[in-house]
Amino acid sequence: MKKLTRAADERVSWSRSFPFFLMHVAPIGIVWAGFGWTEAVVCFLLYYVRMFFITAGYHRFFAHRAFKTSRIFQFVLACGGATAAQKGPLWWAGHHRHHHKHSDTAEDVHSPLKGFWWSHMGWIVCAKFEETDVVGIKEFLRYPELRWLNRYHLVPPALLGLGCYLLGGASVLFGGFFLSTVLLYHGTFLVNSLAHVWGRRRYATTDTSKNSLLIALVTNGEGWHNNHHYYQSTANQGFFWWEIDVSYYVLRVLSWGGVVWDLRTPPKHVLEANRLADTAPGASAVVAAAQTAGSPS
Ligand SMILES: [Zn+2]
Ligand SMILES: [Zn+2]
């Protein structure tokens, strides 16, 4: 795999990233506060519910506008995503759009070609990328509630942490909130790092994106990253029935109740075009003419 050299200002800012590292220390509190079934269930639920808000909200809605919803539910998605403590929706989605625009080039904020750990978490603790890419996300700037949330993005996670403490005590705060938040960081970050390194490629794209069931299971369906890079604007990232995509299933249920609508899915001609070898169950082994075209070496 070719390597890209990071620019001189693309480096970890140790002082500014102190809160991020402190978050990784916080779950150690379970050593004295204890960890039982209650904490495990809260941890599990907070992980997967917030993963839904990150994937369906921050990613598929704000970054890709893969479906439509009301202004109220748009704010619910934004607040839910913010509880994951991954900064505000406009910051998150703006940087993500930039990633798609410049995937695996020198411009890419978090290409693993600049180093695996850089793509996983280095870029997040880099001063260069602290600001919101307001040009990249400009259609959402007209909503004052989103601008407010993007600025005060620590309010939702702080309230969630406080709620955990008030309802379940210190053990639920450390074992439920903090532990799931750290797991959620790394589950989400796998899509930027491992999903560009490990897995299978179905479509000939000009980037290193891969499909991986394992990553899909821990990210509510975002592991079908090669599908997603190939055709980005869909509410589903698992393009076939056997590609598990929990966030899409939840969106489908929400659409039955009219909470979201106009879920975009890939047209048939897109599914069949530019395919490399496909060995998934039920699929014919379609080999596109340019078998390795677009697959960086
Ligand atoms: Zn990607
Ligand atoms: Zn995307």
pLDDT of residue 254: 98
User: Which ligand has an atom closest to residue 208 CA?
Assistant: 1
Give me ligand 2 centre to Cα 266, in Å: 14
- Asked whether residue 117 is domain-assigned, the answer is yes
Task: Tell me, in angstroms, the distance from the centre of ligand 1 to residue 110's CA.
Answer: 9
Ligand nearest 63 Cα, by number? 2
Ligand nearest 103 Cα, by number?
A: 1
pLDDT at 10: 87
CA 171 to ligand 2 centroid distance, Å:
35
Range of the domain at 89: 18-200
55 C-alpha to ligand 1 centroid (Å): 13
Predicted local confidence at residue 206, as pLDDT:
92
Q: Does residue 205 fall inside a structural domain? A: no
Tell me how far the alpha carbon of residue 164 lies from the centroid of ligand 2, in angstroms.
Answer: 31
Report which bound ligand comes closest to the CA of 196.
1
In-domain check, residue 227: no
Query: Quick one: tokens of 242?
Result: 């056997």
Query: Ligand 1: distance of its center to the CA of 210 in Å?
Result: 9
pLDDT tens digits along 109-130? 889 999 999 999 999 989 888 8
Question: What's the 150 CA to ligand 2 centre distance in angstroms?
Answer: 19
The burial of 213, by beta-carbon neighbours within 10 Å (0-12 exposed, 13-18 middle, 19 or more buried), is given as middle
Please tell me the predicted confidence (pLDDT) of residue 1: 65
CA–centroid distance, residue 83 to ligand 2 (Å):
20
Q: How far is the CA of 282 from the centre of ligand 2 (A)?
A: 26
The DSSP result for 225-275, as a single string, is HHHHHHSTT-S-S--STTS--HHHHHHHHHHHTTSEE------HHHHHTTB
The total number of structural domains that make up the chain: 1
pLDDT computed for residue 278 by the predictor: 54
Q: Is 184 exposed, middle or buried (0-12, 13-18, 19+ CB in 10 A)?
A: buried
Output the pTM of the full model.
Answer: 0.91
Q: Is residue 133 part of a domain?
A: yes
In this predicted structure, the answer to whether residue 290 has a pLDDT above a threshold of 70 is no
Tens digit of each residue's pLDDT (9 = 90 or more) over 77-112: 999 999 999 999 999 999 999 999 999 998 998 899
Distance of CA 116 to the CA centre of its chain: 16
Question: According to the model, what pLDDT value does residue 285 have?
Answer: 37
Predicted pLDDT at 13: 87
Kindly report, residue by residue over 40-66, the tens digit of the pLDDT. 999 999 999 999 999 999 999 999 999
Reported in sequence order, the residue ranges of 86-168 that DSSP labels E, i.e. its strands, are none
Starting from the CA of residue 60, give the closest ligand: 2
Residue 45 CA from chain centroid, whole number? 17
Residue 209: inside a domain, yes or no?
no
Could you say which ligand is closest to the alpha carbon of residue 209? Answer: 1
The pLDDT confidence band at residue 249, using thresholds 50, 70 and 90, is very high
Per-residue pLDDT, 277: 67
Q: For residue range 185-196, list pLDDT tens digits in order.
A: 999 999 999 999
C-alpha 29 – ligand 1 centre gap (Å) = 34
In a domain, 274, yes or no: no
pLDDT higher than threshold 60 for residue 297:
no
Task: Label residue 134 by pLDDT band (50, 70, 90).
Answer: very high
- pLDDT score for 18: 87
Residue 157 has pLDDT above 90, yes or no: yes
Residue 289 has pLDDT above 70, yes or no: no
